[in-house]
Amino acid sequence: MMITYLAPEGKIVKQGERIVEFDDSSLLSSRAEAVRTLDEAKLSILKKKADLEAQRCDLLNSLAQAEADLKIAELYSKISKDLLPANTYQKYQLDLEKAKLALQKAMEQLDNFEKSYASQMQLVELNRSQAEINLKKIDNDMALLKVDAPQDGILIYGDNWANNRKIQVGDNVFRGMEVASLPDLSSMQVIGYVYDTEYSLIPRDARCSVTLDALPGFVVGGRIISLSNVATRKGFASTKKLFQATVQMDKVDTEAMKPGMTARISIPLVLANDVPAVSREYLGMDAQGNYYVLKGTEPKNATTQIVQLGAIGDRLVQIVSGVSEGDSLLPVEQLAEVRR
């Protein structure tokens, strides 16, 4: 189904305003055929009615003629037998019986016609009703291809994942694809993504802070209200897996915050308590992939010590073994200065 019209993205639309239209060219030809069929059905009704009225007139004429013939036959049959030859008298009596039968037949034909009149008309009217239903269905389908705003809001285009861009006019969309939305700005949420390696560290209902790239210094508190249970790839060419997190902000500034803005979510986590830890600047990695620290108080006398790590945070790293409480450490960058 191809999109033929989209209201401008970001536009503030009112309820009932047209926002999306889809291609209805195939339905237009079907509608023209349905209109033609309906017109033919209406003409068939008029023709059938005219034919039935003509048939009624013929039957009424036949009935009137039969009644007239009966009256004449009755007059002749009343002539005295003594005044007529025997064969003539018998002929008049026979004509009377024939006239009575002819009248009875004419009355039966008219009665049968009147009884079948309604059913014959219903037969052709049924075709008209079916044609009207077909036309109405097509009109309803065409109306569904023109989407009006169900409420006031700001128009946001959906994503065309196949082309890695927003939906636009001319795109062919399929069942289940989101073409556009009218979010309630007063209940905006932040959608974030968590790497699978960090998923188990984030508790449900965790407090967090949200910052916006477009608004330096803007910070608002929030709460994680959901974490997806199924991971998705970061991109078609990436093997990294992500889980989606939804954050409900404590306060929404509809004047400053707009849908589609880039946001950053910070979640304070306690990875370990009462354990030896060092700042990241004191931690290095050698060519074999071993982590080490630089022991000593002077760079010239310092020695490297391989360490085993525990929990790793943004600033601090837990040391499981290799150093003891009270050891003097130097930033690993000073080792490079000594070597130079």
Give residue-wise pLDDT tens across range 84-95.
899 999 999 999
Q: How high is the pLDDT of residue 200?
A: 82
Q: Which tens digit of pLDDT belongs to each residue from 135-165?
A: 999 999 999 999 999 988 888 888 888 788 8
pLDDT surpassing 60 at residue 337: no
What is the percent of the chain with per-residue pLDDT over 90, rounded to a whole number? 47
CA 254/CA 183 separation, integer angstroms: 12
If one compares 336 and 77, the residue with the highest pLDDT of the two is 77
Q: How high is the pLDDT of residue 237?
A: 66
pLDDT grade, residue 187 (50/70/90)?
A: confident
Residue whose pair of structure tokens reads 């020695």 in the numeric block = 303
| Alpha-carbon distances, residue 11 vs 72, 77, 146 (angstroms) | 91, 97, 18
Max CA-CA distance within the chain? 168
**Phi-psi label, residue 153: left if phi above 0, alpha if psi -120 to 50, beta otherwise:** left
Token code pair at residue 225: 């209200």
Q: How high is the pLDDT of residue 236?
A: 64
pLDDT grade, residue 238 (50/70/90)?
A: low
pLDDT grade, residue 340 (50/70/90)?
A: very low
**pLDDT, average across residues 215-234:** 88
Token code pair at residue 76: 């002749």
Q: How far is CA 285 from the centre of its chain?
A: 53
**Phi-psi label, residue 289: left if phi above 0, alpha if psi -120 to 50, beta otherwise:** left
CA angle 316, 317, 320 (to 5 degrees): 145
**Phi, psi (deg, nearest 5) at residue 248:** -95, 120
Q: How many other C-beta atoms lie within 10 A of the C-beta of residue 14?
A: 10
Q: How high is the pLDDT of residue 254?
A: 75
Q: Which tens digit of pLDDT belongs to each residue from 315-335?
A: 888 888 888 888 888 888 876
